[in-house]
Amino acid sequence: MKRHIKAIFFIILLFQSLTMSGCWNKRDLNELSILSGMGIDMGSKADEITLVYQIINPSAIAGKGASSMKTPFLTIKTSDKTLFAAIRQGTRETPRRLYFGHVQIYIVSSEIAEKKGIKDLFDLLYRDHEIRENIKVLIAKKQKAEDILSTQSVLEINGGTSLLKHLENAHGSEGTVRPVEVREVISTLMNPTSGLVIPVVYLSPSILRSKLENLQDSVQKSVIKTTGFAVFKKDKLIGYLNPKEGRALNWITDNLIHTVIVVPYKGADNTVEVLHSETEVHTQFKQGKPEILLDIKMDANIGEVNAAVDLTKLSTIEDFKKYTNLSVKKDIENLIKRVQRDYKVDIFQFGTTLERNHPKEWKKIKNNWEEYLVDLTVKIKVNTTIKAVGMKNNTFQLKMEGR
Amino acid sequence: MIENGVINRYQLWLLVINFHLGSALLFFPGKIAAESKQNGWIAILLVTLIGSLLILLTVTLVSRNNNQTIVKISESLLGKPIGFLVGLFYAWFYIHLTAILLREIEEMIISTILNETPEIVIYIMITSLVFWVTYHGIEIIARTTEIFAPIAFLGLLLTVILVIPLMQLENLLPIMAEGIKPIIKGSYDVLGFTFAEISIFFMIIPFVNNHKILLKTTISAGIVAGLLLTVMVVVSIMVLGVNTTAMSIFAPLNVARLIDIGHFLQRIELLMYSTYLVTMLVKLTLSFYAGVIAMAQTFHLSDYRANITPLIIIVITLSPALGESIIEFFDASRFWTPYTLVLSLVIPLLLLGISYMKGKK
């Protein structure tokens, strides 16, 4: 009897391994349209949104035939009242099933962000199991998401990857922008006292460059730029931060990696390269009023000296430190003033820090946080350490002047 | 003895850890963040403390009564009719728990990976495995765990290491801003889903070969499991933030989905799936096995294997009936903590009291 049961089980197992070796809802690669980017524009009707998909064309990307005259991606668009409905309409326009697992970039046009707000554009990205919540979000400044998604790029043929690397490059080296993921958008929106910022992307100048011939022109008629931020109040776009303000914001929120600062000194403009920056936000309450102290510590190199100064003297280095500190401090002060005057939203996340450090006092001022924010005292302390001066210890301008 | 197999100390240690991690690993962070917010980890530590006491109670009761199962203990202490009812109650609980665990696996698989697959396919795949392992008895269950548990731990460890770059320590602040009340509430909510289900081990502990250092083994395993759960809660809150963790049904899966090391090492949430599936299958098999043995002992059968087929059919039919949707299924879990506490605290305490009274005579 026992032997019989064993045999039966063996047959069942064999059968299972034959029939259940794949998933039930398997999809092969050649049945899929892989998306690398998505975008949202205003629909033609008032209550509709237009969804733009950037679909990778595998036969153009694969292999060494970079000169093949096939477009590496194509964009299609569909409109409906909700995101999911629009996505399902996409099946009418492609022979293959759309696959969202590799979407890297999600672009929302500023028009829809200003007029309708963005709250209806994110739930699906969060709820669906196929889409990932670390997609990077961008705002197309005064342009259509479609224009940006259909732009051919020369150095990275895959459109979505190109935009992602654009963003990361600008964040890593210049620091005027920083990637914001879908999950950050949602968690910021969930917190009623904090303000949302989303990085900005635009074509400059605004000339559509969707044809493949553009790739053969060394003078690009227009380029994609990712710099600065769009500022949101609740979920509506209310304004922008320019690149310099964007960098100041990164300083405050401790998101700056590298940047360069132009330091005027002895009648010439010099450059200091920031290698590492760390910001600590200290908070305190004085007579029921919150106060913020920003403590910024930077390591820097002197990158370029155009003034006739003696770099071997310690006093020169001290001066460089002083002027660097001043320049950073001024940038940050300007941004805080502008936000307090024009936007009145807490894009610095000071409220969250106050809540973490002083939960009891925070409860009292939470409901009137906007009033407190407008005349919040922010003290800024910048401390630069200059580590190196490059490969030369003195300047040739000094010799030019015959000293 | 109805079962001739024996397990050693190390195997029991692994079984206890896997049993506590199964199901709790994925659901805990979300559940506990909803009530206790940032202080979820304190709540888990509290649960671990209570859980250790429950383990102490379980082991004491079993070892005071010649290492018998709860069915035999209640029969000898309470007499035939009442003992029979208590035994039946325990057997029912184990089967009920099996059905719930089966449903949990099914919901997890359907809402995250195979969302077009019919439920019955998943039920059959999992129960046929459970059938096979249970048929061969406790030794095979323990050995299977011995082989697969390292995979589970490795998956957990790798996931935690790889999300280190995404962790934000500030997300854990402020500590205890709302006082102790939300912490107690949160720990009450989740107590029923791990440590209060320890009553399964009333049916497992009797098969351990060395009863001398039993207490040390089980309690250390309980503490290790509690600490691993704490790590998972802390990691989820640090990576996702409190609000998002509370919103997520499977928060650790969401955490694992975010792994992205240099755009190269990414999309490896299957590590977390493997941990979940291994621990969950151990828990499922143990509770089913406990149900089968309890049923056989209650009815004084000579071989427990005859029970497997009817009980597995009951489990497969009960599982879908537990709720129409995942929401209804979770909603019913409100009554779970008191229910499990009756079986792991109230009845064992009563039995222990009776055994002390009888012992004095």
Residue numbers in B near A12 (CB within 8 A):
128
Residues 242-301 of A with CB under 8 A from B: none
Residue A345: its pLDDT value, please?
Answer: 92
3-state secondary structure chain B: CCCCCCECHHHHHHHHHHHHHCCHHHHHHHHHHHHHHHHHHHHHHHHHHHHHHHHHHHHHHHHHCCCCCHHHHHHHHHCHHHHHHHHHHHHHHHHHHHHHHHHHHHHHHHHHCCCCCCHHHHHHHHHHHHHHHHHHCHHHHHHHHHHHHHHHHHHHHHHHHHCHHHCCHHHHCCCCCCCCHHHHHHHHHHHCCCHHHHHHHHCCHHHECCCCCHHHHHHHHHHHHHHHHHHHHHHHHHHHCHHHHHHCCCHHHHHHHCCEECCCEECCCHHHHHHHHHHHHHHHHHHHHHHHHHHHHHCCCCCHHHHHHHHHHHHHHHHHHCCCCHHHHHHHHHHHHHHHHHHHHHHHHHHHHHHHHHHHC
What residue has token string 């854990």?
Answer: B172
Are the beta carbons of B114 and A24 separated by less than 8 Å? Answer: yes
Q: Are residues A297 and A197 located together in one domain of the fold?
A: no
**CA A265, CA A395: separation in Å to the nearest integer?**
14
Tell me whether residue A207 is in a domain: yes
**CA A239, CA A344: separation in Å to the nearest integer?**
11
Distance in Å, alpha carbon of A72 to nearest chain B alpha carbon: 20
**For residues A362 and A283, is the Cβ–Cβ distance under 8 A?**
no
Residue numbers in B near A357 (CB within 8 A):
173-174
Give pLDDT tens digits for A342-377.
999 999 999 999 988 898 889 888 898 988 999 899
Q: Are residues A258 and A192 located together in one domain of the fold?
A: no
**For residues B312 and B127, is the Cβ–Cβ distance under 8 A?**
yes
Distance in Å, alpha carbon of B177 to nearest chain A alpha carbon: 6
**CA A338, CA A349: separation in Å to the nearest integer?**
16
Are the beta carbons of A129 and B177 separated by less than 8 Å? Answer: no
Distance in Å, alpha carbon of A66 to nearest chain B alpha carbon: 23
Q: CATH number, domain at A309?
A: 3.30.300.210
Q: Over 60: is that where the pLDDT of A145 sits?
A: yes
Residue of B nearest to A181 (CA): B258
Residue B13: its pLDDT value, please?
Answer: 93
**For residues B298 and B82, is the Cβ–Cβ distance under 8 A?**
no
CA B4 to chain centre: 25
Q: Tell me if residue A138 falls in helix, strand or coil.
A: strand
What residue has token string 């009776």?
Answer: B354
Tell me whether residue A18 is in a domain: no
Query: Which residue in B200, B219, B225, B208 sits closest to B139, CA to CA?
Result: B208
Test mutation, B176, B254, B268, B270, chain A, max A CBs within 10 A: B254
Residues 184-213 of A with CB under 8 A from B: 186-187, 190-191
**A355 interface with B at CB cutoff 8 Å:** yes
Residue numbers in A near B125 (CB within 8 A):
16, 20
Tally of CA atoms within 13 A in the half-sphere of A368 that contains its CB: 10
Q: Are residues A277 and A291 located together in one domain of the fold?
A: yes
Residue of A nearest to B254 (CA): A133
DSSP string, A60-103: HHSSS-TT-SS-SEEEEEEEESSHHHHHHHGGGT-SSEEE-TT-
**Strand-pair category, A236-241 with A259-265:** unpaired
Average pLDDT in the A177-187 region?
A: 92
Q: Are residues A169 and A50 located together in one domain of the fold?
A: yes
Q: Are residues A85 and A157 located together in one domain of the fold?
A: yes
Last-in-domain residue among A191, A226, A241: A241
Residue numbers in A near B128 (CB within 8 A):
12, 16
Distance in Å, alpha carbon of A187 to nearest chain B alpha carbon: 7
Are the beta carbons of B258 and A183 separated by less than 8 Å? Answer: yes
A214-230 burial code (b ≥16 CB/10 A, e <16): bbeeeeeebebbbbbbb
Test mutation, A26, A102, A133, chain B, max B CBs within 10 A: A133
Max alpha carbon distance in chain A (Å)? 108
Partner-chain residue, chosen from A9, A134, A190, that has the shortest CB–CB distance to B243: A190
Query: Which residue in A186, A189, A171 sits closest to A106, CA to CA?
Result: A186
Query: Which residue in A133, A100, A124 sits closest to A33, CA to CA?
Result: A100
Test mutation, A134, A171, A185, chain B, max B CBs within 10 A: A134
Are the beta carbons of A357 and B116 separated by less than 8 Å? Answer: no
- In chain B (361 residues long), the average pLDDT of successive 10-residue segments reads 81 93 87 88 92 92 87 89 92 94 90 83 90 91 92 92 91 84 89 87 87 87 94 93 89 89 83 90 93 92 89 92 84 86 92 84 45
Q: Are residues A163 and A258 located together in one domain of the fold?
A: no
Residue of A nearest to B108 (CA): A129
Distance in Å, alpha carbon of A163 to nearest chain B alpha carbon: 14
Q: Are residues A279 and A237 located together in one domain of the fold?
A: no
> What DSSP character marks residue A135?
P
Residue A314 lies in domain: 243-403
Are the beta carbons of B121 and A20 separated by less than 8 Å? Answer: yes
Q: Tell me if residue A7 falls in helix, strand or coil.
A: helix
Tell me whether residue A258 is in a domain: yes
Residue numbers in A near B244 (CB within 8 A):
183, 186-187, 190
Residue A32 vs residues A97, A305, B155, B270: alpha-carbon distances, Å: 5, 55, 30, 21
Domain ranges in chain B are 9-348
**CA B217, CA A44: separation in Å to the nearest integer?**
68
Partner-chain residue, chosen from A12, A133, A360, that has the shortest CB–CB distance to B254: A133
Count how many domains chain A has.
2
Residues 131-150 of A with CB under 8 A from B: 132-134
Test mutation, A27, A97, A132, A156, chain B, max B CBs within 10 A: A132
Average pLDDT in the A7-24 region?
A: 74
Q: Are residues A236 and A350 located together in one domain of the fold?
A: no
CB atoms within 10 A of CB B281: 23
**A25 interface with B at CB cutoff 8 Å:** yes
Mean pLDDT over each residue of chain A, to the nearest integer? 87
Distance in Å, alpha carbon of A341 to nearest chain B alpha carbon: 29
Test mutation, A14, A36, A356, chain B, max B CBs within 10 A: A356
Tell me whether residue A22 is in a domain: no
Partner-chain residue, chosen from B114, B244, B267, that has the shortest CB–CB distance to A25: B114
Residue A188 vs residues A127, A197, A288, B235: alpha-carbon distances, Å: 17, 9, 26, 19
**For residues B66 and B54, is the Cβ–Cβ distance under 8 A?**
no
Tell me whether residue A165 is in a domain: yes
Residue B125: its pLDDT value, please?
Answer: 87
Are the beta carbons of B244 and A187 separated by less than 8 Å? Answer: yes
Residue of B nearest to A187 (CA): B244
Partner-chain residue, chosen from B115, B125, B244, that has the shortest CB–CB distance to A20: B125
Q: Are residues A236 and A120 located together in one domain of the fold?
A: yes
**Interface ipTM > 0.85:** no
Q: Are residues A362 and A237 located together in one domain of the fold?
A: no
Q: Kindly state the tokens that stand for A128.
A: 């669906």
Residue numbers in B near A356 (CB within 8 A):
170, 173-174
**For residues B74 and B83, is the Cβ–Cβ distance under 8 A?**
yes
Query: Which residue in A93, A91, A99 sits closest to A29, CA to CA?
Result: A99
Last-in-domain residue among A217, A241, A265: A241
Supply angle C-alpha B221, B227, B230, rounded to 5: 145
Residue numbers in A near B267 (CB within 8 A):
101
Tell me whether residue A316 is in a domain: yes
**A12 interface with B at CB cutoff 8 Å:** yes
Give the model's confidence band at A188: pLDDT under 50 very low, under 70 low, under 90 confident, else very high.
Answer: very high
Residue numbers in A near B111 (CB within 8 A):
129
Residues 82-111 of A with CB under 8 A from B: 101
Q: Are residues A220 and A275 located together in one domain of the fold?
A: no
Residue B154: its pLDDT value, please?
Answer: 92
Residue B3 vs residues B65, B202, B206, B312: alpha-carbon distances, Å: 18, 14, 10, 19
* CATH code at B9-348: 1.20.1740.10
Distance in Å, alpha carbon of A269 to nearest chain B alpha carbon: 36
Are the beta carbons of B177 and A359 separated by less than 8 Å? Answer: yes
Residues of B with CB under 8 A from a CB of A: 111-118, 121, 125, 128, 132, 170, 173-174, 177, 240-241, 243-244, 254, 257-258, 260, 267
Q: Are residues A157 and A272 located together in one domain of the fold?
A: no
Last-in-domain residue among A241, A271, A305: A241
Residue A256 vs residues A2, A133, A297, B51: alpha-carbon distances, Å: 69, 23, 11, 45
Test mutation, A6, A123, A190, chain B, max B CBs within 10 A: A190
Q: Kindly state the tokens that stand for B297.
A: 């002992």
